[in-house]
Amino acid sequence: MNVQWYPGHMAKTRRLIAERLRQVDAVCEILDARIPVSSRNPDVAELTAGKPRLIVLNRADQADPDVTAQWGDAFRADGYAVLSTDAKSGRGAGKFVSAVRGLLSGKLKAYAEKGQAGRVVRVMILGIPNVGKSTFINRVAGRNVAKAEDRPGVTRAGQWVPIGKQLELLDTPGILWPKFGDETVGLHLAFTGAVKDEILDTETLGCHFMAYMAAIAPERLQEAYKLAEIPPRDGAETDIGYGFRLLEAAGRKRGFLVSGGEIDTERMARILLDEYRAGKLGRLTLEAPE
């Protein structure tokens, strides 16, 4: 994923969404359950106000289930229907159709009363790149609906994907940018791989992630990298300084040495991030509801 977010891109996507919104009955926003704040596009809530809305907390397999349940409650309290899914295995995706029907029950009832019970319902799927939109759509469709860029000449962008006879999905028109702006958001997007190492070089990102893990889940670091202890942080030490020491300790344990006996902290950083993203540090949510 190598998308740059330029004002022109953003304006175009905003316009495309606004145009296509008129054609849909509901909007489904897909978020990363590990970072529901940072993976949320900052404009979608406003753009879609007035439409019945469903939030899908995807990647639930990688997130802490208790925190995912808390997020579900928080979004429901704000008036959203909520579904948590693991689009990769398909878990939860089977509930999508009934969740949409529940969300639109009033409208469906009105259709039925007018003798239009079979009328097609249309849902726009919105989400930032890499959150799992294609995987989710494929799961719900029960077949592979190729990604626009996967097959030359075949474009899914702007096309309706039929799900049975009464539901059609529309993938995000345009490319939706994540919620950049504050440093924590950028780091969380980078830790989870939503923006692949575009924000910082891998080693610096690894230092930040080490310092972060040492603060929120030291026992997982200790276990994963077989460290006798997590050394305490010196008062004045920065995240980068402290994280670097931890990268060295983990790298030493793994035997990642370069000539001269130094630790290959760059390699250790890459491994750390890969292992977190692959779920090897366990199910970990980085953002909890307030």
Does position 88 bind ligand G4P by CB under 6 A? yes
Does position 59 bind ligand G4P by CB under 6 A? yes
Does position 86 bind ligand G4P by CB under 6 A? yes
Smallest distance, Å, CB 191 to ligand G4P? 15
Does position 179 bind ligand G4P by CB under 6 A? no
Q: Which residue is listed with tokens 């930040």?
A: 208
**How many CB atoms neighbour CB 217 within 10 A?**
16
Q: Please say which residue, 41 or 62, places its beta carbon nearer to ligand G4P.
A: 62
Smallest distance, Å, CB 230 to ligand G4P? 27
Contact 268/251 with Cβ under 8 angstroms? Answer: yes
The full length of the chain comes to 290
Does position 68 bind ligand G4P by CB under 6 A? no
Residue nearest to ligand G4P (CB): 132
Per-residue contact string for residues 111-150; x = within reach of ligand G4P by CB under 6 A: ----------------x-xxxxxxx---------------
Q: Which residue is listed with tokens 């049975």?
A: 164
From residue 237, give the alpha-carbon distance in Å to each of 82, 113, 204, 244, 250. 41, 68, 15, 11, 18
Smallest distance, Å, CB 264 to ligand G4P? 25
Query: In the chain, which ranges are continuous DSSP H helix?
Result: 7-21, 44-47, 65-77, 96-103, 105-113, 133-141, 183-192, 202-216, 218-224, 239-254, 265-277
3-state secondary structure of 230: coil
Smallest distance, Å, CB 259 to ligand G4P? 33
Does position 64 bind ligand G4P by CB under 6 A? no
Q: Which residues pair with 83 in a beta bridge?
A: 56
Does position 61 bind ligand G4P by CB under 6 A? yes
- Residues lying near ligand G4P in the complex (CB under 6 A): 58-59, 61-62, 86-88, 127, 129-135
